Amino acid sequence: MRKIFVQAANQISIQQPLCNDWVEHPIVYSEPFCRSIDPDFKPYVSPVEGRRMGKILKRALAVSLQTLRDCQLEKPEAVITGTGLGSVESTEAFLLDMCQNGEQLLKPTHFMQSTHNTIGSLVAIQTQCHGYNATYSHKQISFESALYDAWLQLKAGEIGNALVGGHDGTTPNYFRLLELADYVGNGMQGTCGEAAMAALLRTEDQTFANSPLCELVSVKLLHRPTREQWQTVIASMQLPEDLVVFSGENGHPANDALYAELLPAILPGKATIPYKRWFGECFSASALGFYAAAEYIHLGKENNALLLTLDRAGDAALVLLKR
Amino acid sequence: MQKNRIVITGAGVISAIGVGKEENLRSLQSCAEGVAPVRYLQTEHTECMVGEVKLTNEEMMDRLGIPGTTPVVRTSLLGMMALKEALQEAGLGQEDLSQMAFINGTTVGGMDKSEQFYLDFLKEPVEPNAPVAYIKSHDCGSSTDMIADYFGRFGMTTSLSTACSSAANAIILGARMIASGEYERVVVGGAECLSKFHLNGFNTLMILDREPCRPMDATRAGLNLGEGAAYLVMESEASAQERGAKVLGVLSGYGNACDAFHQTASSPDGIGAYLAMQQALEKANLQPLDIDYINCHGTGTPNNDPSELKAMHRLFGNILPPFSSTKGFTGHTTSASGSIEAVFCLLALQNQFLPVNLHFVSPICDEENVSAVNVPVTATTQHLQQPVHRVLCNAFGFGGNDSSILLEL
């Protein structure tokens, strides 16, 4: 089977954007909810175009284009995107207008940008990429679902590279809804953030000037697995001894309990790095966890990393990265 | 000769023209359209023609044996109705699910309830009786899991959300999972209910026709929205043989390409549509002449249909295989359309007939190519009962997310 590499990756989050300052100097937050730190978008989007785009679109475009530039690649062979909510800002604007003012004088822009696949399509339009294009929206494992699709196609040799992204925004109103649903807040010892992350994956058949960040070994998606199924999956992955788990604790008791219960049972004795302490929680937080793990391996801080994502509704994902 | 074929062993559908395959088949064959003035959706746009499933949520819950107090969204109810039929036909029960993946396409998700309670949720303090459970069911993935969990424990679930091609892309992912050996059996398709949100969205784009839609017709003036769900149980041929499952059809090709032109409009040359169909043929190792029928995306908007025809002519030449859009029957069922129409194609294969294109009067002219023949299947132009062995089924979405699948008998 072909080897697959993570060639480059970039993020915009509640840490300094488009760089890895967070590794040495993470910004520490005590607020329950923070918006991302935006970079200067001028190198990626013209001001005229930018005015018509919601924040999530500008961020997605910036991380995508920067990642392609890092690879000196004009366009990828495929664009595969994960997003839990799509452009929640646009969805909210249209919804609020409709609920408050009725159905007669609504404007199309917010609706056009509210569709989940707006993000992936924009990247395709900007890069003139007619290749495979898909968007996954499956809560906390939206990004891993996109990764899974890319991994299948790369392994099979159907494509040689793919730009895989994970993007979600959080608005004050949506944060309030998440609090009501007890997903975040309510005494949570952590922050709710936003995510924009794009990574270029490639097979070993393609060569690039720079060395890759790490190897992507496997991606597994699970739904309400029993303990027995967990054991089977872990065994099938042939995990290296020297392994650190990038785990999704976010400071919320109900969420963290999932990890506290599972980790000692299926991955006893493995060190964990709860990456959300840097990036906060949102539906695409695991995309940042993936990026952080890749970056850690690239910097030589770890040799092998397993990204573990658990959703309170029962979805789960495992991603194995290797030097 | 062909190894690792992907076969279909179960199918289920619910749409404006019926609950289950039997009713849908009867409606297709008797030209009984399901598009009608709004009856169930709570909207100011009562003038709109829509393809509603003629059941209330309560009626569906009753049929599914779900207690009336359970917070459940309409997208999921439609999905459960269709999935139940598909699993039953494939002869698969609760004990089989852990070895199967459930791949669902949806975009509306739980928006029907979000739009109903949104202002209550935002009130400070929150409305005491506001059903907070509907916040959790808002997103696409939750609708998917609600459907999955009604049946038991699937090995994995995920959701595609590429607007109107979501279900087609779910079929494609499922096919890849079987081809790679990740899963022997998958259930794929999509579900979508009507919502005030997207009805109004399409309305602001000025692409809704107040009359019954006229896909592929020169006088077409927009689409009618519809709702529904459909799923296919797909498995490796070896798996079907091993358990003695009856094969309904074969998925022999698929293609996905991006038009990369505009967020909501199709390109004039239909490059995305062309590439998607071309890839499907290539994957199946077939020539254009091998295709007996195309189920078009054919929404009836001024923009989509000529773009799709252009793409078809580029691939097939001036004379096209028999083609039709079935959206005159069901309305445009958006995220579910890819799988609903795939089930229609399966019905066409099994019953050897061509579904007609309702409300067609005069063809769309192509000024650059006057010899292009653009007449779809109608009750008067075609002998409807005829051999059908290989069909293409198109589903195109906003953002130029164009997909096509190829089904064979």
Provide the ipTM.
0.97
**Can you tell me whether residue A307 is helix, strand or coil?**
strand
Domains: count for chain B: 1
Retrieve residue A68's tokens.
């392609």
B164 is catalytic: yes
Q: Kindly indicate the confidence band of residue B154, based on its pLDDT and cuts at 50, 70 and 90.
A: very high
Residues 6+ apart with CB under 8 A from B325: B215, B216, B295, B296, B297, B298, B299, B300, B305, B357, B376
Closest by CA to A202, choosing from A18, A60, A77, is A77
- Which H or E run includes B237? helix B237-242
In terms of CATH architecture, what is A214-322?
3-Layer(aba) Sandwich (3.40)
DSSP A5-46: EEEEEEEESSSSTTS-HHHHSPPP--SSB--------TTTS-
Q: How high is the pLDDT of residue A84?
A: 97
Q: Kindly indicate the confidence band of residue B1, based on its pLDDT and cuts at 50, 70 and 90.
A: very low
- What's the CA gap between A49 and A66, in Å, rounded? 17
pLDDT digits (tens, 9 = 90+) for A55-91: 999 999 999 999 999 999 999 999 999 999 999 999 9
The 10 Å Cβ neighbour count of residue A232 is 12
Retrieve residue B215's tokens.
């896909």
Q: Out of B48, B138, B140, B164, pick the active-site residue.
A: B164
pLDDT of A2 over the 50 cut: yes
- What's the CA gap between A266 and A221, in Å, rounded? 16
- Are residues A108 and B201, on separate chains, in Cβ contact within 8 Å? yes
The 10 Å Cβ neighbour count of residue A103 is 16
Q: How high is the pLDDT of residue B3?
A: 61
The 10 Å Cβ neighbour count of residue A111 is 26
CB contact A181 to B (< 8 Å): yes
- Are residues B256 and A222, on separate chains, in Cβ contact within 8 Å? no
Cα dihedral angle (B142, B146, B148, B151), rounded to 10 degrees?
170
Q: Is residue B336 part of a domain?
A: yes
Q: What backbone torsions phi and psi does residue B179 show, to the nearest 5 degrees?
A: -60, -35
- Where b means 16+ CB within 10 Å and e means fewer, B244-266 reads ebeebbbbbbbbbbbbbbebbbb
pLDDT of A177 over the 60 cut: yes
Portions of chain A given CATH number 3.40.47.10: 4-203, 214-322
Residue range of the domain that includes B212? 6-408
Residues 6+ apart with CB under 8 A from B21: B11, B12, B13, B85, B343, B347
Instruction: Give the angle A65-A68-A72 at the CA atoms, nearest 5°.
Output: 130
pLDDT digits (tens, 9 = 90+) for B331-375: 999 999 999 999 999 999 999 999 999 999 999 999 888 889 999
Q: Is residue B1 part of a domain?
A: no
Q: How high is the pLDDT of residue B125?
A: 87
pLDDT mean across residues, chain A: 96
Find tokens 């003038």 and name the residue.
Answer: B47
- Which H or E run includes A247? strand A244-247
Residue A124's DSSP bridge partners are none
Q: Is residue B261 part of a domain?
A: yes
Closest by CA to A9, choosing from A196, A208, A154, is A196
pLDDT digits (tens, 9 = 90+) for A179-233: 999 999 888 999 999 999 999 999 999 999 999 999 999 999 999 999 999 999 9
pLDDT, average across residues B270-278:
98
Which chain B residue lies closest to A224 (C-alpha atoms)? Answer: B153
Please tell me the distance in Å from B54's CA to the nearest CA on chain A: 24
pLDDT digits (tens, 9 = 90+) for B86-114: 999 999 999 999 999 999 999 999 999 99
Residue that wins the pLDDT comparison between B1 and B151? B151
CB contact A170 to B (< 8 Å): no
pTM of the predicted protein model: 0.98
Residues of A in contact with B146 (CB under 8 A): none
- Are residues A138 and B144, on separate chains, in Cβ contact within 8 Å? yes
Which chain B residue lies closest to A126 (C-alpha atoms)? Answer: B260
| DSSP conformational letter for B19 | E
B393 is catalytic: no
Q: How high is the pLDDT of residue B383?
A: 72
CB contact A151 to B (< 8 Å): no
Provide the chain B residues 13-72 that lie in CB contact (below 8 A) with chain A: 43-45
- What's the CA gap between A156 and B37, in Å, rounded? 48
Q: Is residue B38 part of a domain?
A: yes
Q: Kindly indicate the confidence band of residue B382, based on its pLDDT and cuts at 50, 70 and 90.
A: confident
- Are residues A125 and B400, on separate chains, in Cβ contact within 8 Å? yes
A28 by Cβ neighbours in 10 Å (0-12 / 13-18 / 19+) ranks as exposed
Q: How high is the pLDDT of residue A187?
A: 83
pLDDT of A45 over the 80 cut: yes
pLDDT of A299 over the 70 cut: yes
pLDDT digits (tens, 9 = 90+) for A135-166: 999 999 999 999 999 999 999 999 999 999 99
pLDDT of B205 over the 80 cut: yes
| DSSP conformational letter for A299 | T
B313 is catalytic: no
B131 by Cβ neighbours in 10 Å (0-12 / 13-18 / 19+) ranks as middle
- Say which range, B2-16, B154-168, B200-214, has the weakest mean pLDDT: B2-16
pLDDT, average across residues A115-122:
96
Residues 6+ apart with CB under 8 A from B277: B255, B311, B312, B315, B392, B394, B404
Q: Is residue B160 part of a domain?
A: yes
Closest by CA to A125, choosing from B169, B333, B262, B72, is B262
pLDDT of B53 over the 50 cut: yes
- Any idea which fold A4-203 has? Peroxisomal Thiolase; Chain A, domain 1 (3.40.47)
CATH number of the structural domain spanning residue B56: 3.40.47.10
Please tell me the distance in Å from A262's CA to the nearest CA on chain B: 18
CB contact A275 to B (< 8 Å): no
pLDDT, average across residues A81-110:
95
Do the beta carbons of residue A143 and residue B269 sit within 8 Å? no
Q: How high is the pLDDT of residue B203?
A: 97
pLDDT, average across residues B299-324:
97
pLDDT mean across residues, chain B: 96
Q: Is residue B50 part of a domain?
A: yes
pLDDT digits (tens, 9 = 90+) for B236-258: 999 999 999 999 999 999 999 99
